[in-house]
Amino acid sequence: MDKIRVGILGATGMVGQHFVQFLQGHPWFEITALAASGRSEGRSYSQVCRWVISPDMPSYVRDMVVQSCEPGLECDLVFSGLPSDVAGPVEEQFAAAGYWVSSNASSHRTDPDVPLLVPEVNPDHVGIIEHQKRRRGWKRGFIVTNPNCCAAPLAMVLRPLADRFGLSKVMVVTMQALSGAGYPGVASWDILDNVVPFINGEEPKVESEPQKMLGQLEGDVIRPADFTTSAHCNRVATRNGHLEAVSVALKRSGLTGDQVVEALSSFRALPQELKLPSAPELPIVVRPEQDRPQPLHDRGAGRGMTVVVGRVRSCPVLDWKFMVLGHNTIRGAAGAAVLNAELLKVKGYLEP
Amino acid sequence: MDKIRVGILGATGMVGQHFVQFLQGHPWFEITALAASGRSEGRSYSQVCRWVISPDMPSYVRDMVVQSCEPGLECDLVFSGLPSDVAGPVEEQFAAAGYWVSSNASSHRTDPDVPLLVPEVNPDHVGIIEHQKRRRGWKRGFIVTNPNCCAAPLAMVLRPLADRFGLSKVMVVTMQALSGAGYPGVASWDILDNVVPFINGEEPKVESEPQKMLGQLEGDVIRPADFTTSAHCNRVATRNGHLEAVSVALKRSGLTGDQVVEALSSFRALPQELKLPSAPELPIVVRPEQDRPQPLHDRGAGRGMTVVVGRVRSCPVLDWKFMVLGHNTIRGAAGAAVLNAELLKVKGYLEP
Amino acid sequence: MDKIRVGILGATGMVGQHFVQFLQGHPWFEITALAASGRSEGRSYSQVCRWVISPDMPSYVRDMVVQSCEPGLECDLVFSGLPSDVAGPVEEQFAAAGYWVSSNASSHRTDPDVPLLVPEVNPDHVGIIEHQKRRRGWKRGFIVTNPNCCAAPLAMVLRPLADRFGLSKVMVVTMQALSGAGYPGVASWDILDNVVPFINGEEPKVESEPQKMLGQLEGDVIRPADFTTSAHCNRVATRNGHLEAVSVALKRSGLTGDQVVEALSSFRALPQELKLPSAPELPIVVRPEQDRPQPLHDRGAGRGMTVVVGRVRSCPVLDWKFMVLGHNTIRGAAGAAVLNAELLKVKGYLEP
Amino acid sequence: MDKIRVGILGATGMVGQHFVQFLQGHPWFEITALAASGRSEGRSYSQVCRWVISPDMPSYVRDMVVQSCEPGLECDLVFSGLPSDVAGPVEEQFAAAGYWVSSNASSHRTDPDVPLLVPEVNPDHVGIIEHQKRRRGWKRGFIVTNPNCCAAPLAMVLRPLADRFGLSKVMVVTMQALSGAGYPGVASWDILDNVVPFINGEEPKVESEPQKMLGQLEGDVIRPADFTTSAHCNRVATRNGHLEAVSVALKRSGLTGDQVVEALSSFRALPQELKLPSAPELPIVVRPEQDRPQPLHDRGAGRGMTVVVGRVRSCPVLDWKFMVLGHNTIRGAAGAAVLNAELLKVKGYLEP
């Protein structure tokens, strides 16, 4: 099988670097184009990219010439790691020019005709792509998005709870890792021996995206799910892995903790059934220890694609509370967008 | 005026060290006895105490001989920084022997006849001391306690909200500093690049103590306030200052954010009125910035005795949400116990 | 006595903020002008300065209007916290216009006619100022500089060793704090769980400045001292306080450790004799513990103006080795420049 | 081929855990016995071992019953991760009982008849084993040791320098990771925002072990190499990877930096030639960047078995200076002892 040719938009940023790393050796996708902002254009990736993740920059991309973020790239599928303040129109240009766009940026997440996709949560939302193409007059190209790095693992955990027990309220307090701010991101002076109880633009995303993801596709419309979410977002001094303290109110009462744990642990979804290359064997793991999940120890679960839950117990104010951990740059960014593309391929959306 | 002679129980531990530091130059109290566990007995404080806070050990205590934690200490008032697993009977022995005990340990906090005291919150609860003495047959001695280091600042913030608007539900997620675990406490291996989402025994305290503190003293009984609290407690890599993300449901609806802020900012209480030596000018400060309070910058407010609040905004699930910061070893431990003793003195409970 | 009117160049940067903080309540100097780069001009200090140190911005400067860094400021003495890439010509303009300039920038440190001044080390080097004025044709203004933040405490420790025992070689490995990089400075992503073994431009300064400081003023020339220095400079995750592992070869052999300790401990110099307002009582403190100095506990010694030494012991390769700690933003920056100005005032260089 | 049966002494400690992790899937060795101090005896490894490294405890050891550290274990080869204060006599008991002992403890490192072995540095020192057995009257068993976690990478770098250019002086300042102190090890309170400039017992090891390793085996005697080493040892807040700032004086002068880099980069030794399972392809990598090696990015080189060098440049005091990084729990502990055993096997010392 010929691999699908892939371009990375925003290839020199931290999310772009994670795309490059995550796609190394991918069985279906092959990076053939790297694009970044004007200054970098025309020089090799190793010259313009200050690589800030471990291990070293893969050798096969070192000499690729970085191009500008405009249609014309030699590829069919583009992963967008662009900053949200520039991603919007650029991604539309690519889609209009016939590229399939899987974006990590927030620009189009709230567009009614754009899926906010997590393959374990709402794979059927890809159905709105046809409407998107018709409405926008795009022949071949389209845009799908993955959610915010906190909303992604949260939605995965809410999916089986909503399905089994009905969901009415969600309260989440996040302790988010440094990599979520990109590079250079958070100044060390601001975070060593500190917590910053604010992340610009984050809470509105966490409070609205889960409802869209758990919403119902009805014809050409995604009808948001009817629960309410409240979020406090904090930055802490961890490198990777967003930890979330979650309390939920469910429609069904009289549950035991074991039932809640079982609903989470036994959750399997389409990516697992289809054995998509980036799908973890277990989308959710529930740890039995009283002090897990921890970012340091659990962010690597399932190569960063498994959501780890722990401390499931009853909540005196809502019904149940527990901790959730997701790897923000994998399950919450690069891995999420790649898994979306894998789903699209299997569903026939990436046909030449 | 002669100063009241003070003994410190658990003087070599981290809370004990904070008592020593906090009492330096106190206008009413003077340390005349230091007591610690058996091994330390009979040697000078500078020999047995591994001093772990800055600045250096005050010179006036260096040569004091450490005694065992038994009645017989040359003092009238004792501050107990003992670990909760040993504090209970020791403190009772001291009270029975006629000492006034102001304890930071949790052992007696839930005793129905022992005040769980924050002078800004429930100064009238000292009224139960007479009942305690009668009931236990103590002539002169008694025990008062200060709350858990998270519950203390939380109760201070809940007091004006409950008074003005009525309180029905409280959801709190804490991000607690390393000093809360004492010394050596948390292993660096466990917390660098990590968050530990569990603190042994902490959540039950945070979930129950506020109700007792905001309860009503009726005759010989403290009737707990009728709101519900849910807590998730986490350890983060900060040195001092417990940060709490709080959401509350109030009985009164239709409030504006300004009204909530005003209720908190304008809060003054008996310690301020009495100008107690350790009382901060402002018990609560509300910061206007979008990213405060932060442990690093705000834990020193009011010499560690002011509670700093920020980000007051409406909560989609309950009614209002905001961040609260309290200095855990000052307002949540040593400073709390000293302020309690100051209140007792002014109220006439420390008369020879 | 009327206070001398002071202007701060680079007032919004981290060093500038330290000048503002350090000068609060100064008995001789009063800030009357704040200057920063073009963008900030004309707006109040509280509007344009993102204050990043604790405690809060002093209220007396909040409403001062920030001006551009050009002569015309209402003041006589200026402290320069400008970045070294712009400081050079700006400071010359101020001196030419008659201002007395005490600079923390490196631009003029190596100028043969500019003192590289630490009042405890080389107070007589102020003598070259007259030559500087003559040579440059400046009537009233002049420039003095303080050394690099690692070189300052190092030179203070080398002074008594050189005086007593003769000095031939110095090997220093630094572990430097985050504040040394200014703000935003080091990205948290680069330093959490890491050490960066390189600081741009630092090693040449540490390897050359001590020789100038310990040099001899002969007529119009400062003849460098004839020892050699080698430096490895590293960035570590501490907030303040540069720690240095130092080995030295001395001209005199047969010394005991006690003699070395005594030479350091007993060191007193002109600022102590003159009781300059910012001079610490003890310029050098030698700690007896086997594990001091530590940045966290010792950076505050003498309000950040005392250099703390520890672990004096023989070196198998050179002669003696020990640890040195200096507060980089106080003794290594703002405090250094202010102490220099205090010396200048007492020596009569700041006469109207 | 049947695998050699392996026992781990001190299996529940941090070094023991690294042995368990490192030996997973080893082609020649198989863990058949786990031993630890008395309290743990008779219970399963998963019950008694607080596993503190990532990823999770390998499943194949979870149910193994922990035994006491006494001969009788079902194995032939033992790796000792015992604390040095107990290792000495225990290891001798095992050797006397016929076990081959590869120890990470320091107890026997200075014994004249015990090799202090790094296969890249002094593989011929295994020759002294016969003398050891004769002298101690051991029929089958013997003890080999690996060096201190700082001395190991240092010796690897000194080997080619000494061979090519002659070595006379070594000055090393270490910045050592938290894992070097075991678990719980360094209190977080002692190291967050701090550096501790002292590690108990460390400097004498770093100052003496390289000379033994680079010494000459002459008959039954290892004659130490005739250079001098001076060490300052510091603890910093990194998880793994000891970073060392090294300056050396060489016997040969007139070298260029390229020659020094080439000597290091081209170094290959017996383990590479023999392709021992744990030998890295490159024992030393020299990074060209100006700011490497860094613990975070370089400790994983060669699965933790490669020593990474950077910043090779001339030293004004000695001749050359550079940075060295070694993974302390792999190249400096578990991996070192395993590589030693691999060498012993190939050399025929592990024959039934």
Mutate to test the interface with A, among D17, D47, D194, D297 (most CBs of A within 10 A): D297
Q: How far apart are the C-alpha atoms of C248 and C262, rounded to whole Å?
A: 16
Q: Are residues A79 and A169 in the same domain?
A: no
Judged by CB atoms closer than 8 Å, whether chains meet at D54 and A192 is answered as no
Is C35 domain-assigned?
Answer: yes
Q: Are residues B157 and B257 in the same domain?
A: yes
Is C168 domain-assigned?
Answer: yes
Q: Give the mean pLDDT of A294-303.
A: 98
Residue B339 clears pLDDT 90, i.e. is over it: yes
Is B198 domain-assigned?
Answer: yes
Q: pLDDT band at C40, cuts 50/70/90?
A: confident
Q: pLDDT band at A37, cuts 50/70/90?
A: confident
Residue B311 clears pLDDT 80, i.e. is over it: yes
Chain centroid to Cα D66, Å, comes to 25
Residue C1 clears pLDDT 80, i.e. is over it: no
- Among the partner residues A54, A193, A300, nearest to D193 by beta-carbon distance: A193
Q: Are residues B178 and B273 in the same domain?
A: yes
Q: Which residues pair with D160 in a beta bridge?
A: none
How many Cβ atoms from other residues are within 10 Å of residue C118's Cβ?
Answer: 28
Min Cα distance C189 → chain A (Å) is 7
Q: What is the CATH number of the domain that holds B13?
A: 3.40.50.720
By CA distance, what is D238's nearest residue in B?
A: B192
Residue D168: predicted pLDDT:
98
Give SS3 for B104: coil
Residue C346 clears pLDDT 80, i.e. is over it: yes
Mutate to test the interface with D, among A46, A52, A56 (most CBs of D within 10 A): A56
Judged by CB atoms closer than 8 Å, whether chains meet at D190 and B187 is answered as no
Q: Are residues D136 and D213 in the same domain?
A: no
pLDDT digits (tens, 9 = 90+) for A202-233: 999 999 999 999 999 999 999 999 999 999 99
Q: How far apart are the C-alpha atoms of D280 and D296, rounded to whole Å?
A: 19
Residue B271: predicted pLDDT:
98
Q: What percent of chain A has pLDDT over 70?
A: 100
From the list B149, B150, B233, B327, the catalytic residue is B149
Give SS3 for D340: helix
Q: pLDDT band at B268, cuts 50/70/90?
A: very high
- Among the partner residues A229, A291, A316, nearest to B229 by beta-carbon distance: A316
Are D246 and D321 contacting, i.e. CB atoms less than 8 angstroms apart? yes
Q: If interface means Cβ-Cβ distance under 8 Å, which residues of chain B face chain A?
A: 169-171, 173, 175, 193-198, 207, 228-230, 232, 234, 236-239, 243, 245, 247, 290-297, 310-311, 315-318, 321, 323
Q: With beta carbons under 8 A apart, name residues in chain D contacting B184.
A: 184, 187, 189-190
Q: Are residues D76 and D12 in the same domain?
A: yes
Is D61 domain-assigned?
Answer: yes
- pTM metric for this prediction: 0.97
Q: Are residues C251 and C157 in the same domain?
A: yes
How many Cβ atoms from other residues are within 10 Å of residue B34's Cβ?
Answer: 27
Are B260 and B246 contacting, i.e. CB atoms less than 8 angstroms apart? no
Q: Are residues D17 and D122 in the same domain?
A: yes
Are D265 and D284 contacting, i.e. CB atoms less than 8 angstroms apart? yes
Are B52 and D190 contacting, i.e. CB atoms less than 8 angstroms apart? yes
Q: Are residues B93 and B207 in the same domain?
A: no
Judged by CB atoms closer than 8 Å, whether chains meet at A189 and C239 is answered as yes
Active site residue ranges of D: 149, 242
Judged by CB atoms closer than 8 Å, whether chains meet at B190 and D191 is answered as no
By CA distance, what is A176's nearest residue in B?
A: B195
Residue A280: asked if its preceding bond is cis (omega within 30°), the reply is no
Number of domains, chain B: 2
Is A351 domain-assigned?
Answer: no
C–D: how many Cβ contacts below 8 A? 123
By CA distance, what is D57's nearest residue in A?
A: A297
Is A291 domain-assigned?
Answer: yes
The mean predicted confidence, pLDDT, of chain A is 97
Q: What is the CATH number of the domain that holds B255?
A: 3.30.360.10
Q: Which domain holds residue B67?
A: 4-148+334-346
Q: Are residues A318 and A222 in the same domain?
A: yes
Q: pLDDT band at A91, cuts 50/70/90?
A: very high
Q: pLDDT band at C114, cuts 50/70/90?
A: very high
pLDDT digits (tens, 9 = 90+) for C323-339: 999 999 999 999 999 99
- Among the partner residues C230, C292, C321, nearest to D230 by beta-carbon distance: C321
Residue B38: predicted pLDDT:
77
pLDDT digits (tens, 9 = 90+) for B243-253: 999 999 999 99
Give SS3 for C310: strand
Q: Which residues pair with B35 in a beta bridge?
A: B9, B67
Provide long-range contacts, Cβ within 8 A and 24+ apart, for B48-55. B48/B12, B49/B11, B49/B12, B49/B16, B49/B17, B50/B12, B50/B183, B51/B17, B52/B14, B52/B17, B52/B183, B52/D189, B52/D190, B53/B14, B53/B17, B53/B18, B53/B21, B54/C296, B54/C297, B54/C300, B55/C297, B55/C300
Are D195 and C236 contacting, i.e. CB atoms less than 8 angstroms apart? yes
How many Cβ atoms from other residues are within 10 Å of residue B254's Cβ?
Answer: 5
Q: Are residues B72 and B165 in the same domain?
A: no
By CA distance, what is C300's nearest residue in B?
A: B55
Q: How far apart are the C-alpha atoms of D51 and D66, rounded to whole Å?
A: 14
By CA distance, what is A194's nearest residue in C?
A: C239
Residue B190 clears pLDDT 90, i.e. is over it: yes
Query: What is the total residue count of chain A?
Result: 352
Q: Buried b / exposed e across B141-154, counting CB within 10 Å, b at 16+?
A: bbbbbbbbbbbbbb
Q: How far apart are the C-alpha atoms of C210 and C172, rounded to whole Å?
A: 12
Q: Are residues A167 and A255 in the same domain?
A: yes
Q: Are residues B179 and B303 in the same domain?
A: yes
Is C89 domain-assigned?
Answer: yes
Mutate to test the interface with D, among C158, C167, C168, C171 (most CBs of D within 10 A): C171
Residue C38 clears pLDDT 80, i.e. is over it: no
A–C: how many Cβ contacts below 8 A? 62
Judged by CB atoms closer than 8 Å, whether chains meet at D243 and C228 is answered as no
Is B351 domain-assigned?
Answer: no
Residue ranges for chain D with pLDDT beneath 50? none
- Among the partner residues A184, A189, A193, nearest to C189 by beta-carbon distance: A184
Give SS3 for D334: helix
Nearest to D52 by CA among D12, D10, D105: D12
DSSP notation for D143-189: EEE---TTHHHHHHHHHHHHHHH-EEEEEEEEEE-GGGG-SS-SBHH
